[in-house]
Structure 1
Amino acid sequence: MSQPDFDDPDLPLAELFAAWPDMAGAFMDKRMLCPGCLIAPFHAITDACLEYDLDEDAFRDELQARIKP
């Protein structure tokens, strides 16, 4: 199975965590409860940033740094 598109604005968090498990640490470092949340299959990064009042561009940059080439 191919990796999902990280830049897809509608990528559900559950799929993000399944494809890149290390990204859960970035969420937990910010005390975000997204990893393991029942809403993760329905929320995307944008939704999480809105919920936790985070700068989405800065957070995406942090997440992008965790993707291994």
Structure 2
Amino acid sequence: MPNKTFDDPDLTLKDLMARWPQTIEVFMRHRMVCVGCLINPFHAVIDACDEYHMDYDAFIEELRIAIDSGATS
């Protein structure tokens, strides 16, 4: 995972949240149960957006904002 970016389509939710924990708040704000879900090691952001009928581009932008405003990288 060292070279993957947060919007890499192959990045799992588990790895996303581990590397950028500030993204967890975005999932929680949308009442997505991805945080702590047993499937998050296998799903990517696109999968979560599909499951919750959310606009992928808008959600990625929210994740970008959370990452940019956080100190963890």
| TM-score, normalising length: structure 1 | 0.91
- Percent identity for Structure 1 against Structure 2: 54
TM-score where L is the length of structure 2: 0.86
What is the aligned residue count?
69
Cα distance in 1 for partners of 2:17, 2:7 equals 14
- 8 Å CA contact 1:4–1:16 kept in 2: the answer is no
Query: Which consecutive residues of structure 2, in runs of 5 or more, have no partner in the other structure?
Result: none
CA distance in 1 between counterparts of 2:9 and 2:2 reads 18
Q: Unmatched 5+ residue regions in structure 1?
A: none
Aligned-residue RMSD, C-alpha: 1.7
What's the CA shift for 1:7?
2.3
Which one scores higher on RCO, CA 8 angstroms, separation ≥ 6?
2
The answer to whether residue 22 in structure 2 is matched with residue 22 in structure 1 is yes
